[in-house]
Structure 1
Amino acid sequence: MSNDQPGTPEPQERPALDYPAPAVPAPQGSGARPAPPAFGGQPYPAPAQRQTGWFKKGFGLGAGGALGAGGVLLALSIIGSMVTGAILAGATAGLSEIGKTAGSETYETVWGEQDASKTLRAIDVRGPIMAGADQGMGLTAATYGYEVADTIDKIGKDDVDGLVLRLDTPGGTINGSRAIGEAIERYQKRTGKKVLAVVEGMSASGGMFAMAPADKIVADHGTLVGSIGVISGPFQQYKDVKAIDGGLLGEGVTTEGGITNEYITQGKGKDFGNPYRAMTAEERKTWSDGLAKEYGSFVGWVSKYRGIPEATIRDDLGAHIFDPETAKQKKLVDDVMNRDNAYREAAKMNGLDPADTKLEAAAVPGFLDSLLGVESRIPGQAPAVEAEQGKLQVTSVICSGQPQVLAWNGPTAQFCGR
Structure 2
Amino acid sequence: METCPLIENLESKPKASLFNRLLGGVGKFALSIIKTVLIIIVVVGVFRALFGQDGMVLERVLREGSSSRRFAVVRLNGIISTQTLNSFTRHLERAVNDPSIKGVILSVTSPGGTVAASDRVHHEIMRFKSRTGKPMVAFMQGIAASGGYYASVACDSIIAEPTAITGSIGVVMQSFNVQNLFSEKLGVEAITIKSGEKKDWPSMFNEFTDEQAAYLQEKLVGPAYDRFVMLVNQGRPGLTLEQVTSLADGSIYHAEEAMAGGLIDRIGYLDDAITLLGEFAGVANPETVEYAEDFGFGGSLMSQFKGVSSLGSKLSRETLNELTSPQILYLWTGQ
Work out whether the TM-score is over 0.5.
yes
1:288 is matched with 217
2:95 is the alignment partner of 1:127: no
Cα distance in structure 2, aligned partners of 1:274 and 1:213:
36
Counterpart contact for 1:108–1:361, Cα < 8 Å: yes
SS for the counterpart of 1:165 is strand
- The match for 1:181 among 109, 122, 147 is 122
1:211 and 2:141 equivalent?
no
1:343–1:115 distance in 2 versus 1, CA, 3 Å: closer
Pairing partner for 2:61 from 109, 115, 118: 109
Tell me by how many angstroms 1:281 deviates. Answer: 3.0
2:25 match = none
Partners of 1:123 and 1:361 within 8 A in 2? yes
- What is the aligned counterpart of 1:403 among 326, 330, 334? 326
Q: Work out whether 1:297 is the aligned partner of 2:227.
A: yes
3-state DSSP class of the match of 1:158?
Answer: coil
Q: Which amino acid aligns with 2:134?
A: K
Note the C-alpha offset of 1:152: 1.6
Distance 1:230 1:315 in 2: 15
CA gap 1:172/1:248 in 2 versus in 1, 3 angstroms: farther
Which residue of structure 2 aligns with residue 194 of structure 1? 135
Is 1:242 aligned to residue 184 of structure 2? yes
Name the CA shift for 1:165/1:396 in 2 (closer, same or farther; >3 Å).
farther
Q: 1:324 to 1:177 in 2, by over 3 A?
A: same
Question: Which of 96, 102, 127 lines up with 2:51 in the alignment?
Answer: 96
Deviation at 1:184, TM superposition (A): 1.2
Asked if 1:349 corresponds to 2:280, the answer is: yes
Query: TM-score normalized by structure 2?
Result: 0.70
Contact preservation (8 Å) 2:67, 2:100: no
2:289 maps to 360
TM-score with structure 1 setting the length:
0.57
- Output one character per residue of 1:127-175: Cα deviation in whole Å (capped at 9) or x when no partner: 100023xxxxxxxxxxx11331243235236141110100010100111
Q: Secondary structure at the match of 2:271?
A: helix
Task: Summarize deviations over 1:350-404 as a string: whole Å, max 9, x none.
Answer: 1111xx3221112453xxx847x5669xxxxxxxxx999xxxx8x7899724212
Q: Which amino acid aligns with 1:171?
A: G
The answer for the alignment partner of 1:149 in structure 2 is 89
Q: Compute the displacement of 1:210 (Å).
A: 1.2
Q: Which structure: larger Rg?
A: 1
Partner of 1:361, secondary structure, is: strand
- How many residues were matched structurally? 267
Say what the alpha-carbon RMSD is for the aligned residues.
Answer: 3.3
Kindly state the Cα deviation for residue 226 of structure 1 after the two structures are TM-superposed.
Answer: 0.5
Q: Aligned equivalents of 1:398 and 1:173: distance in 2?
A: 16
For structure 1, the residue ranges without an aligned partner over 5 or more in a row are 1-91, 133-143, 250-267, 377-385, 413-418
Show the 5 A alignment for 1:22-101.
96-97=51-52, 99=53
Aligned to 2:35: none
Write the distance in 2 (CA, Å) between the matches of 1:174 and 1:397: 20
What CA distance in whole angstroms lies between the structure 2 residues aligned with 1:396 and 1:321? 31
Q: Quickly say closer, same or farther: Cα 1:237–1:121, change in 2 above 3 A.
A: same
In structure 2, distance between residues paired with 1:325 and 1:283: 39
Matches of 1:216 and 1:239, distance apart in 2: 50
CA positional deviation for 1:324: 0.5
Counterpart CA distance in 2 for 1:296 and 1:152 is 27
8 Å Cα contact 1:237-1:274 kept in structure 2: no
Report whether the alignment pairs 1:339 with 2:270: yes
Structure 2 residue matching 1:123: 3-state secondary structure: strand
321-330 or 334-343, larger mean C-alpha shift = 334-343
Secondary structure class of the residue paired with 1:400? helix
Q: Distance in 2 between matches of 1:397 and 1:330?
A: 42
Cα pair 1:123 1:163 within 8 Å, conserved = yes
**Partners of 2:205 and 2:320 in 1: CA distance:** 23
Identity of aligned residues (%): 21
Q: For residues 271 and 189 of structure 1, what CA distance do their matches in structure 2 show?
A: 41
Distance in 2, Cα, partners of 1:362 & 1:401:
35
Matched residues in 2 for 1:149 and 1:105: separation? Answer: 11
Distance 1:145 1:364, change over 3 A: closer
SS at match of 1:209: helix
